[in-house]
Structure 1
């Protein structure tokens, strides 16, 4: 596989590659074109914190975005963990060894290219040269997760007026009449004043009454806390599968 571009794919280099979820993966550096088929099958994307890690990504599944950049169905972690490939320095141009390419196919679970038709060749009824076997392929669902806003929660404080009843002990003064006989001890006080007269004597009575006032005191702290709840959801998608049937001329005559 030699490194060069075609007119259709030439503008891909220098653009940013994203996952279909919107996560940024890295910048496209090079395109790798198949010697026999003549179109790019791999691209090099530069990832890492400082852009020092190069990974090969299948062109299959890559498509342009509306903003001119690219997106792929392969997640970032899968791309960063792809086998490292060392180009063959003895070959004309830069080449990927076939065994390394097969490791990449297996890593990305891409159907391998029938060993590039190195086995017995023949011609099937549709015309192209092929070997003596068919490759049956099928699509499989790639399931992942993405973060989205589910909703928002707020704390709101408001004032409610309520009536409380509290039992408050109170005291009051009441008057009662006390009579005492004249004795030697109080005779002097009893004889002080005129013998016969009219007069009034006043006593001030006091009592306690409840007094109500309010004060604000802190009673508790309230905050919103988030927690993750693990759940399972069932997703469905349509996949295509190839089926192979065998028939013979005898079956057709029947």
Structure 2
């Protein structure tokens, strides 16, 4: 009863995308045949709500009558177009998981083309005849030809092993700037320079009698003498004394760069004997040969 109540509550909800926009009303609920828990819902999109698109519930959060999913409207509308009237096949479910970026543990272990018994729940009583028309009887849910963990006894199985590679490149970034600026500073220069000037020297010489002949009269008389002196004269001239050239050059150096990469490892269980393959195909791995 609790599960039926939960399914009815889900059918009354609206799906809201990661951008906060309402995507549409829940159309059907798909259960996990092994656990019986709701795993997928379909949401009505398109004009008049005719188209139904599958949305996983793995990362969804329910709040009242809203189911919030980590995908926007365009992502959900672009999901693989799958008929909602039947059960999900393995290929259909794998396509949905790949599209939404999910990797469940049980899906890669299924054989390609094998039918999954995940049926829709619409809130209406299930019709046994309709179940049989889909190729699965109601009492056979959870079987569908699967044995021991979802692997059939016939045919081969394939699994792809992946690993990450570290790509190291270079980028150029600014580390500093050099600015060449010229400014004027004043300096006091002192030099000693010899100068000359003229001074008056008065010499008196007595005249003896009889040294000068002639008649002399007393009267006024003026005579002049010009004196000279040297003075320092300062003048300036501008002349270039130095040229400064600035350029940049590339200097090489080495740095050690490290990063973490992930790789997948295959574990092979053969009748209780477990073997690890860390090298993978093409690297000397110990995978058994295909029959």
Same fold (TM over 0.5): no
Return the TM-score normalized by structure 1. 0.41
Structure showing greater Rg: 2
TM-score by length of 2: 0.36
